[in-house]
Amino acid sequence: MKLSRHIAVSLVVSSIIYFIFHSPAAFFSSLAGGVLIDIDHLADYFFQNGIDLRPGRFFEWCYCDKWQRLVLIMHSVELLFILWLVIWVFNLGLVWMAFAVGMSQHLVLDILSNKRMKVISYFFIFRCFRGFRKEHILRDRGGI
């Protein structure tokens, strides 16, 4: 899903959280969780291309599958599960729950809208055991 859509959806979800809990902190936490998860795309881009700060090149690299490997640590079902587990075990409260809601809605929307990616590739361990390689992550390529 494109960044502009993630921002729009995150604003809606965060607004709903604000209207339910009347908490500006929860609003901004949800917004951060829904948008900042994409920072891992920058890490992969810089690792593969060096520090290139031209936004056009970055978005083309992302949306036109110009990458060869995709680590995307934040885009993992396992990390999301661990986050929710830690919130529950340590009773971390509303701000952390709002952050996890933001991350959750982002990942769910990516899984539902990104038809190029195999659903299983949203599991970090799957990507890791396959060397994070494009041919195992995209649907129209080889691999499982």
Q: Map out the domains of the chain as residue ranges.
A: 3-137
Mean pLDDT of 24-42: 97
Supply the DSSP symbol for 64: T
Which is nearest to 133 in space by CA: 114, 115, 113, 118? 118
- Residue 21 in this model has a pLDDT that exceeds 50: yes
- pLDDT > 70 fraction of the chain, expressed in percent and rounded: 97
Strand partners, 117: 138
> According to the model, what pLDDT value does residue 47 have?
93
What's this model's pTM, rounded to 2 decimal places?
0.91
The tens digit of pLDDT for each residue in 106-141 reads 999 999 999 999 999 999 999 999 999 999 999 975
The vertex-124 CA angle with 73 and 133, nearest 5°, equals 90
Region of 72 on the Ramachandran plot (φ > 0 left; ψ -120 to 50 alpha; else beta): left
